[in-house]
Amino acid sequence: MIMKTNILIAILCIYCGNILLAQEVTKPKKIRAKGDYIHCQTMTAFPEQFETYLRQDIYAFNKGKTNIGVNYQDKQKETTISIYVYPAPPAMEYRLRDEYFTCLQSIVNTTKQGIDFSAKVSKISKDNYKLMAISASAQQANSNTVLMLFECGKYFMKYRISSNKSDTSTLRAISNKLIERFSPTEIVKHQPLKPGTTIHVAPAVIEDTIGFAPIMAAALAKSKWANEEVDSLEKCSGFPSLYFEEQKRALTDMLDRWENAKKQNTRFQKYFNELSLIRDNGFLDEFIYDQYNGILLLPSNLKLNLEKYEVWKQQHKTAASLVGPIFYYLVGYEESYKQESK
């Protein structure tokens, strides 16, 4: 199956939170169930027992029961497994990364203490379907935690495993069993994204004819890279924004376009010149890695000199950023949600 790309350009607006936010309930509602409980939208079945872990409770976080959490615990009550399935916002880039940080903040709010998580991006594959996942682990004095977040088309799935006895390697082994039993790729099969690429551009970019061309070159580079380098079944799960090569292609195309226009005035001149300075000093790879906190799918042959880059960064104090509260453009598969309502 070949996924065609229809690009729609629109004025940038940022999507935050759950797409069913208006339907959320103020207090989670406990769901009573005997035998398997089926999450109807994704057809995910939650049995009364998983391995040696017994199902303790099921909660709905919205009225439609599309946003649910299921808790399992061993008989000794030493290890708790929490599985969450919930609607994801429109599939624009950064969606998975942003949700990961939201999950971390939720853990901090619950535990009321800072936790040092080490994160890694990986790819899960089953029946030719592929999807991105972010896994993280933390070792604490009284407990250990492993978190796994999956981008499953129009839904997210999240595992959180906590134990006051088992180490993180044991918890990661449990998470692998969870992937086999509660497969995130099965959710993609039931709630896939469909063709239709949208590029949102900030109003300030549209109004600046000189700055528009380089920034649009970056957005088009991401769309082209995703279309050529990622297969159609992987694109069913989300816009592939966590590939290092994709981010570098976008920056390279943008700066190449800027080289042809940099003698002209634009409000983005400082931004382009700082990025050019980083590239010309040989630190473009390190800059991308640093901007994403290493939460990227990295090529195996990538070599970074982060210590040298850190020294250079302190000396030059550049302000250019790839992520944060201000976006010049966003690329993604927003059209999937519009097609569903037609």
Residue 296 belongs to a domain:
yes
Q: Please give the residue range of the domain that contains residue 105.
A: 20-87+92-190
Please check the confidence at residue 65 and state whether its pLDDT lies above 90: yes
- pLDDT confidence of residue 117: 81
- pLDDT confidence of residue 210: 93
Residue 13 belongs to a domain:
no
One domain, residues 166 and 299: no
pLDDT tens profile 288-337: 999 999 999 999 999 999 999 999 999 999 999 998 666 899 999 987 76
Q: What is the pTM of this model?
A: 0.88
- pLDDT confidence of residue 177: 96
One domain, residues 168 and 26: yes
What is the DSSP annotation of 246-285? HHHHHHHHHHHHHHTTTTS--TTHHHHHHHHHHHHTT-HH
One domain, residues 136 and 178: yes
One domain, residues 170 and 205: no
One domain, residues 291 and 264: yes
Structure tokens at 292: 């994403």
One domain, residues 186 and 53: yes
Number of domains, the chain? 2
User: Of 242, 339, 330, 340, which is closest to residue 15 (Cα–Cα)?
Assistant: 330
pLDDT tens profile 74-100: 999 999 999 999 999 999 999 999 999
One domain, residues 181 and 38: yes
Residue 9 belongs to a domain:
no
Rounded Cα gap, residues 5 and 222, in angstroms = 12
Residue 122 belongs to a domain:
yes
Please check the confidence at residue 185 and state whether its pLDDT lies above 60: yes
One domain, residues 55 and 118: yes
